[in-house]
C-alpha cells in the first residue's frame, strides 16, 4: 500500500517528510515499548505509537524503520522532530486512536509483520 493512500485513510498530518509519498508500506507495527520494537521488528515496517520522545526516533533508526505515526493526535516535542530530520526518518500525526488506526489499516489490507518468537 502506498503512503499516499494511507494519509487519507487514517487522516495523517505530515510533520517531517523525507521520502516520497509513493513509498510502499507492507506491514505495520503498533507498539509503545521500545525494546519490543527492537526485539520483534524483523523487517522494514511502519511504527504506530503513542509515545513522542526522541527515543522513539532512535529506536526506529536502529531497526531501519523509516516511518513513524504518532496516534491520538499527540504532537511530538521539538527535539523529536529535530532528531528525525537529522536521521532521515518520516513523521506523521494521526488524530485517531491506536485501535482505530490499526483497524482501518488492517481492513485496507495491510498485515502485521512476521514476529520472531522469544528464544
Partner 1 sequence: MQEQTLLQSKIEQGDFTRGGEVSSSLKDVLRKLGIKSETSRRVTIVTYELEMNIIIHSLGGEIEVLISSEQIKVVATDRGPGIPDVEKAFQPGFSTADDFVRGMGFGAGMGLNNIKHYSDQLTVETGQGKKSKFTAIICL
Q: Which is nearer to partner 1, 3 or 31 (CB)?
A: 31
Supply the minimum distance, in Å, between the C-beta of residue 108 and partner 1. 27
Q: List the interface residues with partner 1, window 57-96 (CB under 8 A).
A: 58-59, 61-64, 87
Q: Does residue 33 belong to the site contacting partner 1 (CB under 8 A)?
A: yes
- Long-range (24+ apart) CB contacts under 8 A made by 32-36 are 34/59
Q: Which is nearer to partner 1, 11 or 40 (CB)?
A: 40
- Long-range (24+ apart) CB contacts under 8 A made by 81-84 are 81/15, 81/16, 83/54, 83/57, 83/58, 84/15, 84/16, 84/57
Supply the minimum distance, in Å, between the C-beta of residue 6 and partner 1. 23
Map 7-31 to HEC letters.
HHHCCCEEEECCCCCCCECCEEEEC
Q: Does residue 13 belong to the site contacting partner 1 (CB under 8 A)?
A: no
Residues contributing to the site for partner 1 (CB under 8 A): 32-36, 38-39, 49, 51, 53-56, 58-59, 61-64, 87, 116, 118-119
Amino acid at each position: 500500500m502506498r503512503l499516499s493512500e494511507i494519509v487519507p485513510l487514517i487522516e495523517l498530518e505530515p510533520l517531517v517528510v523525507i521520502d516520497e509519498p509513493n513509498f510502499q508500506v507492507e506491514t505495520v507495527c503498533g507498539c509503545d515499548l521500545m525494546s519490543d520494537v527492537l526485539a520483534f521488528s524483523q523487517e522494514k515496517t511502519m511504527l504506530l505509537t503513542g509515545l513522542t520522545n526522541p527515543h522513539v526516533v532512535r529506536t526506529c533508526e536502529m531497526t531501519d524503520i523509516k516511518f513513524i505515526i504518532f496516534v491520538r493526535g499527540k504532537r511530538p516535542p521539538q527535539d523529536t522532530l529535530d532528531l528525525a530530520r537529522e536521521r532521515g526518518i518520516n513523521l506523521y500525526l494521526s488524530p485517531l486512536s491506536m485501535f482505530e488506526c490499526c483497524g482501518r489499516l488492517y481492513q485496507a489490507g495491510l498485515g502485521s509483520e512476521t514476529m520472531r518468537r522469544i528464544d
